Chain A
C-alpha cells in the first residue's frame, strides 16, 4: 500500500481551489500543502491578511494542519500494535503447530496469517501520513472549523459562543512527542464534543485559550 492509494482528485481538491465548481470540501486557496510521506513538516502558505467582516472573505483565512510529529506518534503506536500482534500470531501458530503437527495445512495457514499481518503493518505504517494530510483546522472570529476524512470527508464547525468547556489531554506517547488532544464541548447532542487530536502541545494550549477568550460570555441554551 502506498501513497498512490489516495485518489488523485483528492490531491487536486486540497491544492487547487479557484473554480466554484469544486467539491464541497474543497479547501480554500491558502490550504496547507500536503506533507510528504515521510512526515516532513508541511509548508504553510504565508498568512493572508483578510478582513473577516465580509462573508466572502471567510474562505481565505488560514487552515492549519496537525503537527507532523503526530504521524510519528501514530507510527509508534502502530509499531507497538504490530509487535504485540506479531508475538500473538507467532505464539498461536507455534502452539497450533505443536499440538496438531506441522503439516502442509499448517504451512498454508501460517503463510496466510503472515501475509495478513504484513498487509496490516504496511497499512498502519502508510496510513498516518495520508490521513494526516486530510486533517486541517482553522480558527477565526466565527469559531473553530475542523476538516477530516480521506474518503468519508467531514467538516465540523463550532461557533465560539457555543463552547461550554474544553479539555486538553496528553497520554504518555503524546507527551513523548510534545503533542496533545484538544476536546471542545458544546451543549449539543450529536456532536456535543469535538476532538482535535495530534496538535503540538503549545498550539493546543494557545488554541484552547483563544477559544475560551474570544468566545465571550453568553448563555447558549
Chain B
C-alpha cells in the first residue's frame, strides 16, 4: 500500500494546535473557569468515568494526535462533488465560447474559480485529530466550528470508494453516531492507512467502554435500586439487566410468541377505517389510468340509482337512500377486512434470544426483525370501536429510524408491529417485548392533570364557542344558533372529556402516558431511553399554575404518540422534571446486542 499519509511538513500544523486553539482571546466571563461551579464533588460513578478518560490516550496510535489535514487529493474530490453546481456555468461557457461570445466564458471561469477557492478554503481550514478517545474536527474560516465526537459513540464508519478513489488509494469516510440521520462527520478523503488507524482507535475505545461497563456493573449494583419507585407494592419488576443476560445465554431456540388468527383480522377490519384507504387507492389508480373512461360505458352515472333520483323528492326516497348508505358502509368494511387479511394473514411473532421476528402477509410475505435492546418506546393503541371488542394494537419504536418517513417499510412494520390483539394478551406480550415490564393500567399510580384543567379548557371552549356562534348568527341569522349550539356542545363535551382522559404515571422502569378520548393511546418509555427533558410554561400556564412536561426519546414516529404532557400542576411538573432528570442520569442502558 502506498503511503499518502499527510506527513508533508508543509501541510502539517506546526503549533500543535489542540482543542482550545479555536480562539486566542482570553477574557473574563461571568463564569470564569477558575471559580466555576462546575468543580463538582465527584461521586463514585464520576470518578470511575474520569479515570477511564484519563487512561484513554494510551489506547490509540499517536500519529493522528496532531491536527491533520485531509489527504491532498481531497481538493480533487471536493471539486468533483460540487461538479453539479458547476455544470450549468461550464455548459454556458462552452456554448458561449463556441458562439464567439466571451461573456459566458468569463462567467464560467469565475464560477469555477469561486468554487475552487471555496474548496481550497475548506481544505485548509478543516483539520481533524484523535485525542483522548475523541475525534476533534475543526472547520470554517469565518464561522468556525469545532466538533468533538467521542470515539466510543461512533456507531458506523462508512467508506465510499469509486474508481477515482481507488486510483488515489483513498476513500470518503462517514462517521455516524446515534444522533440524527445525517453523518456526524464526513472526511473526504482519507488514505487507507489513516482509515485503518481511525478504525483501530474506534474499536479500542469500544473495548475500553465495554470493560468499563463491566466494572461499573460490578462496583455499582445499587444504581438501579436507588431509583425510588413510587410504590414498591404495586410492581414486581426484576432487575432487567440480569434477567436479560440470563435469557441471552439460555434461549437461542426460536420461541413462538404470538400468531394472529383470521378472526382477529376480521374484527380489526370491521372496527378500523382502512376501507377508506382502499377506496382511495382504487380511485387513484382508476383515475391514473382513465379506467372510468375505458371500462365503464358512457353515461355510467345513469346506472347508479342515486343519480336517477329526483333529489327534490328525497323524502319519499329515504328508504333507498338509507339502504344505499348501508351498502356503501358494508363495502367499506369488507375492503377494510380485505386489507387486514391481505397484509397480516398468517401473522407470526417469534423470538430467538433477543431477536423479535415478525412474518405476515397473504401474497407478499414480509418479515422484519427487531432487536429487543433497540426498542425505545412501546405504544398501545385502542381505537374507539376496536376497544368495544376489547382488542388493541401495539406499536413499537426502535432507535435509528429517523429517516425514511412514515411510509418507509421499516417504519411501517413498526407501526403495525402487532396489528390486533386481545387486551388480555397485552401483559404477556409486553413481557416478551421488554422482560420484566409489568404494565397493568388499573394498578398504576396515575396522576391526572391539574384540578384547574377542566375550568381552563371550559373557559377556552366557551370563548371559542361564542366567537363561532356570533359568526354563525351573523351569517344565517337565527338559524345560525343551531350549528353554533352544536359546535358549543361539542367543545364543552371535548373540554370535559379531555381533562379526564389524560393520565401520567412514573413507575420503577420509566414513565407511562395515556391520552386520547375516543382513540386512546397508552405509551411507555424507560428511564434509560430518555434523551432530553423539557419543562415549559406559557403565560397562560403561569396564570393557571400549570406546566407542560415533555420527554424526548430516540423514537422517530411510528408509534404516533409523543410524551408531551400539558396541563400538569406546576409544582408537580417541576418535581417530576427533577426526578426524571435524576432517574435518566442514573439509569444507563444496560443491554447489549
Taking beta carbons and an 8 Å cutoff, which residues of A are in contact with B? Answer: 20-21, 23-26, 32, 41-42, 44, 47, 49-53, 55, 58-59, 61-62, 64-69, 138-143, 145, 149, 151-162, 164-172, 175, 178, 180, 185-194, 199-203, 205-210, 212-221
18 residue pairs bridging A and B, Cβ less than 8 Å apart: A20-B571, A23-B537, A24-B577, A25-B537, A51-B41, A139-B38, A141-B43, A141-B45, A159-B581, A169-B140, A186-B531, A189-B402, A189-B555, A192-B180, A192-B552, A193-B180, A217-B52, A221-B554
C-alpha spacing A190/B564, complex, angstroms: 11
Contact assessment for A214 and B49 in the assembled complex, using a CB-CB cutoff below 8 Å:
yes
* Known pairs A52-B43, A175-B23; A162 contacts B147 (CB<8 A): no
C-alpha spacing A162/B553, complex, angstroms: 10
CB distance from A135 to the nearest CB of B (A): 11
Contact assessment for B31 and A187 in the assembled complex, using a CB-CB cutoff below 8 Å:
no
Taking beta carbons and an 8 Å cutoff, which residues of B are in contact with A? Answer: 19-20, 22-23, 25-33, 35-38, 40-43, 45-46, 48-50, 52-53, 133-134, 140, 142-150, 152-153, 177-180, 184, 205, 208-209, 212-213, 228, 374, 376, 399-400, 402, 529-539, 542, 545, 547, 550, 552-557, 562, 570-571, 573-574, 577-579, 581-582, 584-585, 588-589, 592
Contact partners of A180 in chain B: CB under 8 A: 22-23
Contact assessment for B179 and A186 in the assembled complex, using a CB-CB cutoff below 8 Å:
yes
C-alpha spacing A194/B534, complex, angstroms: 11
**In the complex, which of the residues B32, B40, B177, B179 contacts A52, with contact meaning CB atoms closer than 8 Å?**
B40
C-alpha spacing A62/B184, complex, angstroms: 32
Contact assessment for B36 and A206 in the assembled complex, using a CB-CB cutoff below 8 Å:
yes
C-alpha spacing A185/B205, complex, angstroms: 20
* Known pairs A165-B153, A166-B148; A190 contacts B552 (CB<8 A): yes
The residue in chain B whose Cβ has the minimal distance to the Cβ of A152 is B538
Contact assessment for B23 and A201 in the assembled complex, using a CB-CB cutoff below 8 Å:
yes
Contact partners of A66 in chain B: CB under 8 A: 30
Contact partners of B592 in chain A: CB under 8 A: 219
C-alpha spacing A128/B321, complex, angstroms: 66
C-alpha spacing A150/B49, complex, angstroms: 37
Contact assessment for A161 and B588 in the assembled complex, using a CB-CB cutoff below 8 Å:
yes
Contact partners of B36 in chain A: CB under 8 A: 64, 203, 206
**In the complex, which of the residues A62, A156, A215 contacts B533, with contact meaning CB atoms closer than 8 Å?**
A156
CB distance from B334 to the nearest CB of A (A): 38
C-alpha spacing A207/B148, complex, angstroms: 13
Contact assessment for B571 and A220 in the assembled complex, using a CB-CB cutoff below 8 Å:
no
Contact partners of A209 in chain B: CB under 8 A: 19
C-alpha spacing A213/B134, complex, angstroms: 10
The residue in chain B whose Cβ has the minimal distance to the Cβ of A155 is B535
The residue in chain B whose Cβ has the minimal distance to the Cβ of A202 is B33
CB distance from B401 to the nearest CB of A (A): 10
Contact assessment for B150 and A159 in the assembled complex, using a CB-CB cutoff below 8 Å:
no
**In the complex, which of the residues A64, A149, A165, A221 contacts B400, with contact meaning CB atoms closer than 8 Å?**
A221
Contact partners of A64 in chain B: CB under 8 A: 30-31, 36-37
Contact assessment for A153 and B545 in the assembled complex, using a CB-CB cutoff below 8 Å:
no
* Known pairs A157-B533, A165-B153, A212-B148; A55 contacts B31 (CB<8 A): no
Contact assessment for A217 and B152 in the assembled complex, using a CB-CB cutoff below 8 Å:
yes
Contact assessment for A44 and B30 in the assembled complex, using a CB-CB cutoff below 8 Å:
yes
Contact assessment for A167 and B147 in the assembled complex, using a CB-CB cutoff below 8 Å:
yes
